[in-house]
Amino acid sequence: MKTIKAYKYAAITFVTLMASANIATAQIRVVATTPDLASIAREIGGNKVSVLALAKPTEDPHFVDAKPSHIVTLNRADVLIEGGAELELGWLPPLLESARNSKIAQGARGRVVASAGIRMLDVPTSFDRSKGDIHSLGNPHFLVDPDNAKIVAKNIADHFAAVDPKNAAAYRANLAAFTNNVDLKTIQWVRALAPFKGAKVVTYHKDFVYFARQFGLSIIDELEPKPGIAPSPAHLARVIGAMKTQGGKVLLVQPYQNRRTAETVARQTGAKVLMMPQQPGAVSGADTYTQMMDNLVNTLAAGLR
Ligand SMILES: [Zn+2]
Protein backbone atom coordinates (compact mmCIF):
# COMPACT_ATOMS: atom_id res chain seq x y z
CA MET A 1 0.00 0.00 0.00
CA LYS A 2 2.73 2.31 1.06
CA THR A 3 4.70 1.67 -2.14
CA ILE A 4 1.68 2.34 -4.36
CA LYS A 5 1.10 5.64 -2.58
CA ALA A 6 4.74 6.55 -2.98
CA TYR A 7 4.61 5.65 -6.66
CA LYS A 8 1.49 7.76 -7.17
CA TYR A 9 3.12 10.70 -5.44
CA ALA A 10 6.25 10.32 -7.56
CA ALA A 11 4.16 10.16 -10.74
CA ILE A 12 2.23 13.30 -9.83
CA THR A 13 5.46 15.11 -8.94
CA PHE A 14 6.97 14.03 -12.25
CA VAL A 15 3.98 15.30 -14.25
CA THR A 16 3.97 18.60 -12.35
CA LEU A 17 7.71 19.03 -12.93
CA MET A 18 7.33 18.28 -16.63
CA ALA A 19 4.52 20.84 -16.92
CA SER A 20 6.54 23.57 -15.22
CA ALA A 21 9.59 22.67 -17.33
CA ASN A 22 7.38 23.07 -20.37
CA ILE A 23 6.35 26.54 -19.27
CA ALA A 24 9.97 27.43 -18.51
CA THR A 25 11.11 26.40 -22.00
CA ALA A 26 8.09 27.80 -23.90
CA GLN A 27 9.71 29.82 -26.63
CA ILE A 28 8.37 33.10 -27.90
CA ARG A 29 7.39 32.81 -31.53
CA VAL A 30 9.24 35.31 -33.66
CA VAL A 31 8.59 36.04 -37.31
CA ALA A 32 11.02 38.16 -39.32
CA THR A 33 10.23 39.42 -42.79
CA THR A 34 13.72 38.64 -44.14
CA PRO A 35 16.49 36.13 -43.30
CA ASP A 36 19.01 38.82 -42.20
CA LEU A 37 16.60 40.03 -39.51
CA ALA A 38 15.81 36.41 -38.58
CA SER A 39 19.52 35.66 -38.18
CA ILE A 40 20.05 38.56 -35.76
CA ALA A 41 16.86 37.60 -33.87
CA ARG A 42 18.21 34.06 -33.38
CA GLU A 43 21.42 35.41 -31.91
CA ILE A 44 19.59 37.75 -29.53
CA GLY A 45 16.86 35.26 -28.59
CA GLY A 46 19.02 32.14 -28.26
CA ASN A 47 17.01 29.17 -26.97
CA LYS A 48 14.24 31.44 -25.60
CA VAL A 49 12.78 32.05 -29.06
CA SER A 50 11.85 30.21 -32.23
CA VAL A 51 12.39 32.27 -35.38
CA LEU A 52 10.93 32.02 -38.88
CA ALA A 53 11.62 34.25 -41.89
CA LEU A 54 8.87 34.95 -44.42
CA ALA A 55 11.13 35.78 -47.38
CA LYS A 56 13.49 33.20 -48.85
CA PRO A 57 17.20 34.11 -48.87
CA THR A 58 17.12 34.36 -52.67
CA GLU A 59 13.94 36.42 -52.82
CA ASP A 60 13.75 40.20 -53.43
CA PRO A 61 12.71 41.68 -50.05
CA HIS A 62 10.63 44.30 -51.89
CA PHE A 63 8.62 41.65 -53.79
CA VAL A 64 8.08 38.57 -51.66
CA ASP A 65 5.72 35.92 -52.94
CA ALA A 66 2.89 36.06 -50.36
CA LYS A 67 1.49 32.63 -49.40
CA PRO A 68 -1.47 31.50 -47.25
CA SER A 69 1.03 29.82 -44.89
CA HIS A 70 2.49 33.28 -44.15
CA ILE A 71 -0.92 34.32 -42.74
CA VAL A 72 -0.95 31.32 -40.39
CA THR A 73 2.63 32.06 -39.30
CA LEU A 74 1.79 35.71 -38.61
CA ASN A 75 -1.41 34.78 -36.79
CA ARG A 76 0.57 32.68 -34.28
CA ALA A 77 3.46 35.09 -33.81
CA ASP A 78 4.35 36.77 -30.52
CA VAL A 79 6.79 39.10 -32.24
CA LEU A 80 7.11 40.41 -35.81
CA ILE A 81 10.35 42.03 -36.99
CA GLU A 82 10.09 44.10 -40.14
CA GLY A 83 12.79 46.10 -41.91
CA GLY A 84 10.60 49.17 -42.07
CA ALA A 85 11.09 52.24 -44.28
CA GLU A 86 8.51 50.67 -46.61
CA LEU A 87 10.82 47.77 -47.56
CA GLU A 88 7.87 45.37 -47.28
CA LEU A 89 5.15 47.80 -48.43
CA GLY A 90 4.27 45.73 -51.49
CA TRP A 91 3.45 42.50 -49.68
CA LEU A 92 3.31 42.62 -45.87
CA PRO A 93 0.23 44.85 -45.16
CA PRO A 94 -2.36 42.51 -46.78
CA LEU A 95 -0.86 39.50 -44.97
CA LEU A 96 -1.08 41.31 -41.63
CA GLU A 97 -4.65 42.32 -42.32
CA SER A 98 -5.62 38.68 -42.85
CA ALA A 99 -3.56 37.44 -39.87
CA ARG A 100 -5.58 39.56 -37.36
CA ASN A 101 -3.00 39.37 -34.57
CA SER A 102 -3.08 42.28 -32.10
CA LYS A 103 0.21 41.17 -30.50
CA ILE A 104 2.10 42.28 -33.61
CA ALA A 105 -0.07 45.29 -34.56
CA GLN A 106 1.60 48.62 -35.36
CA GLY A 107 2.87 50.09 -32.08
CA ALA A 108 2.47 46.85 -30.07
CA ARG A 109 5.36 45.50 -27.95
CA GLY A 110 5.52 42.55 -30.31
CA ARG A 111 6.14 44.71 -33.37
CA VAL A 112 9.78 45.54 -34.09
CA VAL A 113 10.57 48.08 -36.80
CA ALA A 114 14.24 47.46 -37.51
CA SER A 115 14.80 50.88 -39.10
CA ALA A 116 13.95 52.70 -35.84
CA GLY A 117 17.01 54.72 -34.85
CA ILE A 118 18.88 54.15 -38.13
CA ARG A 119 20.19 57.26 -39.87
CA MET A 120 18.64 56.70 -43.28
CA LEU A 121 20.47 57.53 -46.50
CA ASP A 122 18.84 58.63 -49.79
CA VAL A 123 15.82 60.18 -48.06
CA PRO A 124 13.99 61.96 -50.88
CA THR A 125 13.07 65.62 -50.42
CA SER A 126 10.09 65.15 -52.70
CA PHE A 127 8.54 61.93 -53.79
CA ASP A 128 6.33 60.81 -56.64
CA ARG A 129 5.20 57.20 -56.31
CA SER A 130 3.90 57.23 -59.88
CA LYS A 131 7.52 57.39 -61.08
CA GLY A 132 7.95 53.95 -59.56
CA ASP A 133 10.68 54.65 -57.01
CA ILE A 134 10.24 52.17 -54.17
CA HIS A 135 12.64 53.84 -51.70
CA SER A 136 10.11 56.44 -50.63
CA LEU A 137 11.29 56.80 -47.00
CA GLY A 138 15.00 56.51 -47.73
CA ASN A 139 17.16 53.51 -48.54
CA PRO A 140 15.97 50.40 -46.65
CA HIS A 141 19.07 48.24 -47.36
CA PHE A 142 20.91 49.37 -44.23
CA LEU A 143 21.86 46.04 -42.64
CA VAL A 144 25.01 45.59 -44.72
CA ASP A 145 26.55 48.31 -42.57
CA PRO A 146 27.58 46.50 -39.35
CA ASP A 147 27.00 49.66 -37.30
CA ASN A 148 23.36 49.45 -38.32
CA ALA A 149 23.19 45.73 -37.50
CA LYS A 150 24.11 46.64 -33.90
CA ILE A 151 21.28 49.21 -33.74
CA VAL A 152 18.82 46.64 -35.10
CA ALA A 153 20.05 44.02 -32.61
CA LYS A 154 19.37 46.46 -29.76
CA ASN A 155 15.85 47.19 -31.09
CA ILE A 156 15.20 43.45 -31.16
CA ALA A 157 16.61 42.88 -27.65
CA ASP A 158 14.49 45.72 -26.22
CA HIS A 159 11.30 44.25 -27.69
CA PHE A 160 12.16 40.69 -26.62
CA ALA A 161 12.71 41.96 -23.06
CA ALA A 162 9.37 43.81 -23.11
CA VAL A 163 7.45 40.80 -24.44
CA ASP A 164 9.27 38.29 -22.20
CA PRO A 165 10.55 40.22 -19.13
CA LYS A 166 11.65 37.13 -17.16
CA ASN A 167 14.33 36.45 -19.76
CA ALA A 168 15.40 40.08 -20.18
CA ALA A 169 18.85 39.42 -18.70
CA ALA A 170 19.50 36.66 -21.24
CA TYR A 171 18.54 38.95 -24.13
CA ARG A 172 20.82 41.69 -22.80
CA ALA A 173 23.72 39.23 -22.46
CA ASN A 174 23.17 37.92 -26.00
CA LEU A 175 23.04 41.50 -27.30
CA ALA A 176 26.37 42.27 -25.63
CA ALA A 177 27.93 39.15 -27.19
CA PHE A 178 26.54 39.96 -30.65
CA THR A 179 27.72 43.59 -30.47
CA ASN A 180 31.16 42.51 -29.32
CA ASN A 181 31.48 39.98 -32.11
CA VAL A 182 30.33 42.47 -34.77
CA ASP A 183 32.85 45.03 -33.46
CA LEU A 184 35.68 42.50 -33.76
CA LYS A 185 34.54 41.38 -37.22
CA THR A 186 34.19 44.99 -38.41
CA ILE A 187 37.90 45.56 -37.73
CA GLN A 188 38.67 42.54 -39.97
CA TRP A 189 36.25 43.67 -42.70
CA VAL A 190 37.64 47.21 -42.77
CA ARG A 191 41.19 45.82 -42.94
CA ALA A 192 40.30 43.40 -45.76
CA LEU A 193 38.79 46.16 -47.89
CA ALA A 194 41.28 48.92 -47.00
CA PRO A 195 43.47 48.25 -50.09
CA PHE A 196 40.45 48.99 -52.31
CA LYS A 197 39.47 52.35 -50.85
CA GLY A 198 37.73 54.46 -53.49
CA ALA A 199 37.20 51.49 -55.84
CA LYS A 200 34.57 52.29 -58.46
CA VAL A 201 31.61 49.91 -58.44
CA VAL A 202 28.24 49.64 -60.14
CA THR A 203 25.25 47.92 -58.54
CA TYR A 204 22.07 46.58 -60.09
CA HIS A 205 19.71 48.04 -57.47
CA LYS A 206 20.47 50.85 -55.03
CA ASP A 207 21.30 48.33 -52.30
CA PHE A 208 24.95 48.90 -51.41
CA VAL A 209 24.97 52.59 -50.37
CA TYR A 210 25.44 51.84 -46.65
CA PHE A 211 28.09 49.20 -47.39
CA ALA A 212 29.92 51.62 -49.71
CA ARG A 213 29.91 54.36 -47.10
CA GLN A 214 31.21 52.05 -44.37
CA PHE A 215 33.97 50.50 -46.47
CA GLY A 216 34.96 53.46 -48.65
CA LEU A 217 33.73 52.34 -52.08
CA SER A 218 32.61 54.75 -54.76
CA ILE A 219 29.34 53.83 -56.51
CA ILE A 220 29.27 55.10 -60.10
CA ASP A 221 25.63 54.28 -60.82
CA GLU A 222 22.96 51.57 -60.74
CA LEU A 223 21.63 49.54 -63.67
CA GLU A 224 18.09 50.39 -62.53
CA PRO A 225 17.33 54.02 -63.44
CA LYS A 226 15.31 54.24 -60.20
CA PRO A 227 14.95 51.66 -57.40
CA GLY A 228 12.43 49.10 -58.61
CA ILE A 229 12.41 50.25 -62.26
CA ALA A 230 13.86 47.80 -64.78
CA PRO A 231 16.98 48.95 -66.69
CA SER A 232 16.19 50.68 -70.01
CA PRO A 233 18.57 50.57 -73.01
CA ALA A 234 19.07 54.36 -72.81
CA HIS A 235 19.96 54.23 -69.13
CA LEU A 236 22.28 51.23 -69.63
CA ALA A 237 24.10 53.14 -72.39
CA ARG A 238 24.71 56.00 -69.94
CA VAL A 239 25.98 53.60 -67.26
CA ILE A 240 28.31 51.89 -69.76
CA GLY A 241 29.69 55.29 -70.77
CA ALA A 242 30.25 56.29 -67.14
CA MET A 243 31.94 52.96 -66.34
CA LYS A 244 34.32 53.37 -69.28
CA THR A 245 35.32 56.93 -68.42
CA GLN A 246 35.53 56.36 -64.64
CA GLY A 247 37.02 52.86 -64.72
CA GLY A 248 34.31 50.76 -63.07
CA LYS A 249 35.77 47.30 -62.40
CA VAL A 250 32.96 45.37 -60.73
CA LEU A 251 29.20 45.05 -60.98
CA LEU A 252 27.42 43.84 -57.83
CA VAL A 253 24.27 41.74 -58.20
CA GLN A 254 21.87 39.77 -56.00
CA PRO A 255 20.44 36.31 -56.79
CA TYR A 256 17.03 37.72 -57.76
CA GLN A 257 18.35 40.42 -60.12
CA ASN A 258 18.74 40.02 -63.87
CA ARG A 259 22.24 38.63 -64.19
CA ARG A 260 22.10 38.58 -67.99
CA THR A 261 21.65 42.35 -68.12
CA ALA A 262 24.63 42.72 -65.79
CA GLU A 263 26.71 40.33 -67.94
CA THR A 264 25.90 42.36 -71.05
CA VAL A 265 27.12 45.55 -69.38
CA ALA A 266 30.19 43.73 -68.05
CA ARG A 267 31.13 42.48 -71.53
CA GLN A 268 31.02 46.01 -72.95
CA THR A 269 33.08 47.52 -70.15
CA GLY A 270 35.52 44.79 -69.20
CA ALA A 271 34.04 44.72 -65.69
CA LYS A 272 33.39 41.63 -63.58
CA VAL A 273 29.95 40.59 -62.29
CA LEU A 274 30.11 39.68 -58.61
CA MET A 275 27.29 37.75 -56.92
CA MET A 276 26.91 39.51 -53.56
CA PRO A 277 23.83 38.14 -51.73
CA GLN A 278 22.82 40.28 -48.76
CA GLN A 279 20.77 37.54 -47.12
CA PRO A 280 22.16 34.78 -44.87
CA GLY A 281 21.36 31.37 -46.36
CA ALA A 282 21.68 32.50 -49.99
CA VAL A 283 25.03 30.73 -50.33
CA SER A 284 26.22 27.69 -48.39
CA GLY A 285 28.38 28.41 -45.38
CA ALA A 286 26.93 31.91 -44.95
CA ASP A 287 24.01 31.22 -42.63
CA THR A 288 24.48 33.93 -40.01
CA TYR A 289 24.74 37.70 -40.28
CA THR A 290 28.50 37.78 -39.78
CA GLN A 291 29.07 34.86 -42.18
CA MET A 292 26.99 36.71 -44.79
CA MET A 293 29.13 39.81 -44.28
CA ASP A 294 32.32 37.68 -44.46
CA ASN A 295 31.12 36.41 -47.82
CA LEU A 296 30.39 39.93 -49.13
CA VAL A 297 33.77 41.25 -48.02
CA ASN A 298 35.73 38.24 -49.33
CA THR A 299 33.88 38.16 -52.67
CA LEU A 300 34.44 41.86 -53.23
CA ALA A 301 38.11 41.78 -52.18
CA ALA A 302 38.73 38.83 -54.54
CA GLY A 303 36.90 40.61 -57.37
CA LEU A 304 38.87 43.84 -56.95
CA ARG A 305 42.27 42.18 -56.48
ZN1 LIG B 1 15.48 48.54 -52.52
pLDDT digits (tens, 9 = 90+) for 84-129: 999 999 999 999 999 999 999 999 999 999 999 999 999 988 767 6
- Residue 10 pLDDT grade (very low, low, confident, very high; cuts 50, 70, 90): low
Distance 141 CA to ligand 1 centre (A): 6
Edge-to-edge, what's the strand order for the sheet holding 272-275? 218-222, 200-203, 250-253, 272-275
Q: What pLDDT sits at residue 5?
A: 55
Distance 264 CA to ligand 1 centre (A): 22
CB distance 86 to 137 below 8 Å: yes
- Asked if the model's pLDDT at residue 285 lies above 70, the reply is yes
| Closest among 200, 256, 251 to 228, alpha carbons compared | 256
Q: Is the dihedral of CA 116, 121, 125, 131 positive or negative?
A: negative
Distance 227 CA to ligand 1 centre (A): 6
Distance 60 CA to ligand 1 centre (A): 9
What whole-number percentage of the chain has pLDDT above 90? 88
- Residue 141 pLDDT grade (very low, low, confident, very high; cuts 50, 70, 90): very high
**Pairing label, strands 79-82, 28-32:** parallel
Q: Is the dihedral of CA 301, 215, 208, 231 positive or negative?
A: negative
- Asked if the model's pLDDT at residue 290 lies above 50, the reply is yes
Instruction: Output the average pLDDT for the chain.
Output: 93
CA 196 to CA 44: how far, in whole Å?
33
Q: What pLDDT sits at residue 25?
A: 59
- Residue 22 pLDDT grade (very low, low, confident, very high; cuts 50, 70, 90): very low
CB distance 292 to 71 below 8 Å: no
Distance 116 CA to ligand 1 centre (A): 17
Distance 162 CA to ligand 1 centre (A): 30
Average pLDDT over residues 44-49: 98
Instruction: Give the number of other Cβ atoms within 10 Å of residue 2's Cβ.
Output: 6
Average pLDDT over residues 133-140: 92
Distance 138 CA to ligand 1 centre (A): 9
